[in-house]
Structure 1
Amino acid sequence: MTDPGRQTGLHGKIFRYGISAVGPIASAGSQLLLSLMLLKMLPPDAFGSFSFLFVASVFSWGLWSALFCAPLPILMSQGTAEDREAAPQCILAVSLVASVLALAVLFGLGLLLKVPPLAAFLFAAYGAVALIRWLARAYGYASGHPLRTTASDVTYSVALVAGVGLVMLTGHPSLDLAYAALLLAAALGLLPFGRAYLAKQFLHPRVRDAAGYAAIWRQHSGWSLLGVLTTEATANAHAYIVTGLQGPSAFAPLAASALMIRPIGVATNALSEFERAQMARQIGERRFAAAIGSVRTFRLALIAVWVATAIAIGLLLAFDPRLIFPAHYPLHFLAVGALLWLAVAGMRLIRAPESALLQAAGQFRPLAYASVLSAVVSIATVVLLLVTVGPLWSIGGIFLGEAVFACWTWVQAHRWRQAQGDGAPTLNHPREVVL
């Protein structure tokens, strides 16, 4: 199968982004359809609980990216042939056990939010299977088989849209059916990776495979995990603080307004996942100029998505906002929320290409430092704004945290690029970076 990452020229870039974007756009579109359906059908407190559970699930994807997905392309493109075979099997073994723990955590969280037990279990099971599929997606990219990842996303999307259609046909809001549809879609999304991969994931893992993860943790995942935890605090501090202090009903309008910038997040995540794998190969081959060129192309693509999304939001709010949002969500709240979220999304896309570059180079410690600083700013500002001017303006705290994160990431990426030009220690030694 042709590796899109090795296509050259303008047509190659268009093909590469088309391949990397079509699957995530389809899967995110189906999830957005589910969210919009539940937004219409559920009261604010129930929609707030659903939205918070989804935030927690997406956070778990970030954890998996740190612990398993981000190191994977580095480990599969460097070292001896034996190392390149052993490292993925180690990661698959550890992640399988961790997904069971994630199921228990998500189930407990659902019960704390007073979600009915069956619905809470179905969502928790979905969350665990989604994590297994998330790692499979990263494996598809890292092994040079992006079409399998795309096929998985499309399969997931078709199954979820069918499930949403079934829920709508019933004519009443059923969280059991909605979460069952998510679970079935995630399970079916594993099939395109094929028997060989599924056997590696479910049949071949052995206890001794997991022993090698300690070295992966020390070199890559430890710093990456710190970065994800603090990045989550930067990006979603409002979700945890508002829900914790004022409950799901207070979080519901924020979650509703955030739906409008979902396409930007989809594009950023999809292209980051794809480009990180491509950049890791380019850096492993010491083609630094190519990796830096990927950063520029990545940024232009994200800017185009941001502009298109901003235009679409403006048209929606100007002509027919009730097409999506029920009457109990005030238009003023939605309009101000949309502007604040667009500012946040703009700051995120400024740093996303450099973040992907540093991850591909194994520079997890500088990213961790950046996210720690930004998390402190974000949490403190969100709390201050929440208690002084209310939940809506707490989004401003997220913007300030993202601004700090972007500035620091740019500085670290600039240092790394200078190091390559000067022949200084590079990607395999993150602890040697001078901060």
Structure 2
Amino acid sequence: MAADQAIIRLSASLGGRYLSRLAGEGPQSVYHFCLNIVLLRTLSPYDYGTFSIIFITAATATLFSDALFAIPATVYIPSRCGCAARVLDVTIGSVALLVCSALSIVASIVIWVWLGILSVSCFGSAFIGLWALRNYTRAVALAQPSRAGGARATLSDLTYVVSGTALLIVVPRVLYLPLTPGLVFGGLSAACALGILPCFLDRGWRIRISFRARIFRRYGVFLPALVWSLAGAGAAILLGQSQAFLVAGIAGPAAFAPIAAGFVLLAPIRVLTGSVLNVLRPELSRRDETRDAASIQKVLIFSVQCALLFVLAYGACLLLAWPLVKSLLFAKQFVGEPMSLIVTMAWLTAMTYTAYQPFRALAQSQSRFRDITLATLAGGITGFTTVLLLLLTFGPAISIGGALVGEATTLFLLWGAYLRSGAPGFVARFGGT
């Protein structure tokens, strides 16, 4: 198709690959943003808080999916070719399907015990497992050496957005159903399932799934290297989501709702970060195979500069439009809440998080998972402790400062690990010692 060829041509350069990913992740971000705004104005604070917690849980599940499946795929598949790449694809894909299915079952039991609502339990858990699985299939598409892999990942995102939008508009109108968390997660689950399909188009080999013992033995070869990656995912959850779970657990879903609404405004920054990581991991892995240090430095500097410029520009636009944004989105729903403070601290947290992602991607591409885990764990413990103290002392809004402290700690430690690994070109360019 002409659209496929246009996306493939766009993916020819590194900047083009970033734009190609944003062509998919941008509409996805807009879709999630608009969905959150509609739910923010439609649902009660309790229902919106419930939706946000399950949605964050699904995002958390993608961290484990990254650690166990996406990272091995993007680091090891690009360095293999032919039969070896296909064998690795079948191995990781089979284990990913099994683990994501088990994750959905466990999540359904936990949500049922927590809420006792069948629709939310079934569809919310399905969304958690399917989003984690789609995250893996997109990563495999991006790991393919051909430029068509990026096109398949972009088409996956666009399919998810179009089908999710259609389902959530058509189904309530046709069946005259009210918009509830259960209905929303049902639509999102179906959209995720449809979004997985484009990742398997024109791959050059047929889809194979196997649960034989040799598959798990073959995957077990990677486990020693992935132990630190998996520990890093747990540390990343402690770092990134502890504030959300502490506020929701101690103060309740309604108290978490304004914080969730504030972070929704910063969703495009997270999308950009995800795009950078998805492109950088396989790109750095390929360049690391050639031992081309100068090329790696160039890619890293370009990525950091692009990411931070985007965050600064986004923050400036948000500041200029803040009176309008506040009156349209928050004036009626969160009366008396310090939304300006919440959004400002959320932006600072997002900027700090974005700054260290290229260094994290480089460490992943070089299998230095220990450095990532220790830095993230230190930031997570620092952030968790600070969030808890601020929450109990000053309340939910100020507790965001704890998340900022945790992210800053991780940035400092990852920067130090990068310098220790040897980065003379980067240090010289930016005036280091």
Q: TM over 0.5, yes or no?
A: yes
Matched, 1:395 2:431: no
1:161 corresponds to: 165
Once the two structures are TM-superposed, the CA of residue 84 in structure 1 deviates from its matched residue by 3.4
Q: Does 1:241 align with 2:246?
A: yes
CA shift digits 1:123-152 (9 cap, x unpaired):
211222222211110001111311100010
Contact 1:140 1:149 in 2 (8 A): yes
The one-letter amino acid of 1:46's match is: D
Match of 1:149 in 2: 153
Contact 1:310–1:342 (CA under 8 A) maintained in structure 2: yes
Question: In the alignment, what sits opposite 1:424?
Answer: none
Report the Cα offset of residue 200 of structure 1. Answer: 6.0
Please state whether the residue corresponding to 1:77 is helix, strand or coil. Answer: coil
Pairwise CA distance, 1:179: 1.4
Is the 1:93–1:201 contact (alpha carbons within 8 Å) kept by the matching residues of 2? Answer: no
CA distance in 1, matches of 2:37, 2:111: 20
Partner of 2:188: 182
Q: In structure 2, what is the equivalent of residue 215 of structure 1?
A: 221
The 3 A distance-change label for structure 1 pair 242 and 199 is farther
Deviation at 1:175, TM superposition (A): 2.6
2:104 partner amino acid: L
Structure 2 distance, partners of 1:282, 1:98, is 31
Question: What RMSD over aligned residues (CA atoms) do the two structures have, in Å?
Answer: 2.5
Distance 1:246 1:148 in 2: 42
Q: Tell me which residue corresponds to 1:297.
A: 302
1:329 has 2:352 as partner: no
SS of 2:338's equivalent in the other structure is helix
Amino acid at match of 1:367: I
Instruction: Work out whether residues 167 and 173 of structure 1, in 8 Å CA contact, stay in contact via their aligned partners in 2.
Output: no
* Cα drift, residue 235 of structure 1: 1.3
Pick which of 326-335 and 338-347 moved more: 326-335
1:276 to 273, 281, 292: 281
- Pair 355,205 (structure 1): closer, same or farther in 2 beyond 3 Å: same
- Deviation of 1:399 (Å): 0.6
In structure 2, what is the Cα distance between the partners aligned to 1:215 and 1:101? 22
| TM-score relative to the length of structure 1 | 0.89
Q: Check 1:165–1:325 CA distance in 2 against 1; reply closer, same or farther (3 A cut).
A: farther
Which sits farther off after the overlay, 28-37 or 324-333? Answer: 324-333
Q: Distance in 1 between matches of 2:395 and 2:345?
A: 14
Q: Which runs of 5+ in 2 are unaligned?
A: 427-433
Give the stretch that moved more between structures: 234-243 or 26-35.
26-35
User: Whole-Å Cα distance in 2 between the matches of residues 263 and 189 of structure 1?
Assistant: 20
Question: What is the match of residue 96 of structure 1?
Answer: 97
2:43, 2:180 within 8 Å by CA — same for their partners in 1? no
Q: Is the 8 A contact 2:91 2:219 kept in 1?
A: yes
Conserved? CA contact 2:31–2:161, under 8 Å: yes
Name the counterpart of 1:427.
none
Cα deviation per residue 1:27-58 (whole Å; 9 max; x = unaligned)? 22212222111111111111111100011100
- The one-letter amino acid paired with 1:239 is A
Pick closer, same or farther for the CA change 1:237–1:70 going to 2, 3 Å. Answer: same
Task: Confirm or deny: 8 A CA contact 1:231 1:372 kept in the other structure.
Answer: yes
| Alignment-derived partner of residue 384 in structure 1 | 389
> How far does residue 242 in structure 1 lie from its aligned partner after superposition?
1.1
Give the direction of change, closer, same or farther, for the CA distance of 1:29–1:167 in structure 2 (3 Å limit).
farther
How much has 1:14 moved relative to structure 2?
3.6
Q: In the alignment, which residue of structure 1 is the partner of 2:429?
A: none
Q: Aligned residues: percent identity?
A: 23
Shift of 1:87: 2.4
Q: Aligned residues, how many?
A: 416
